[in-house]
Structure 1
Amino acid sequence: MKVTFQGAPLTLEGTQVKVGDTAPNFTAVGNDLNPVSLNDTKGKRVFLSVPSIDTPVCDMEVRKFNTEASKLSNVEVYTISMDLPFAQARWCGAAGIENVKTVSDYKDREFGKNYGVYINELGLLSRAVFVVDENNKVVYVEYLQEITEEPNYEAVLNALK
């Protein structure tokens, strides 16, 4: 799949996920440097794939989902980026993020490749949203064509109902 960054074409590596698929497993790194896998997560989950948590669009997206997550019951929201766990923890602390968990794909790039969001040219993750139900079935997918744009928040929230 091709995506753009400020209009410049980029190539995504890995396998794209579709609604109805079983969510692919992955191992990433939590803020405490311990592994986090799909199997460590439960219930309804939102996985936000972002290029870098410390950029304007990513900042807006995570803050929006932090606010929305506080209104949802039995839903966990995860933001996954290539940012180091230390940077993610620092940013969350400074931004007051309490309802979104951050994990880093910097080490093995498994999330990026298993979900088809690894940007080969930049070594970053593309912007995408995946909603996974209690049975590990993917119920919503949004790959943004232009990675500087925000996702469809309303559609994501509707998929959680």
Structure 2
Amino acid sequence: MRYVALLRGVNVSGKNKLPMALLRQALETTPFYGLTTYIQSGNIIFNTDLDAAQCKLIIGDLLKSEFGLQVPVLVKKQETIKDVLKENPFKKETTENFKLMSFGFFDKIPVTEKIDEVMSFSTEIETFKIVDDVMYFYCGVGFGKTKMTNAWFEKKLGVTSTMRNYNTTLKLTEL
């Protein structure tokens, strides 16, 4: 099975710095193969015969033991990421300006009441749709200006989330 692991909160520099070359080297000791990373923000693509939950545990344990990091790890089938792109309800907007589109990947499906509450913040300019454990977010004001950040959605929905922009999400399906 081909998986994508999405690490939340790893950075190029400063807090939670995690060089991808060192991460790839550490992951060579795992039962993962065909392994690659994409950009410095914590994206790992790999094959394994294990299930997603086992992969999440292995990666989380490795991050803690090798790098002293305790960051959320989300593991999705690469095919699931492809489906997210196919089912994007904002395809027209994305075609016009893909830089304003991102995807939030959640660790679980938020409860309906919380989704209903958060949906009241959706506007024509900052619009989003939550389907199961994925959020489609078209942010017409730009991600640098919005108050609806990843942390905001996590707090409102009671989930662990990590966001990826359109280009990164697309690349994760191609690697």
RCO comparison, higher one (Cα < 8 Å, 6+): 1
Structure with the larger helix share: 2
Structure with the larger strand share: 1
Do they fold alike, i.e. is TM over 0.5?
A: no
TM-score (norm 2): 0.29
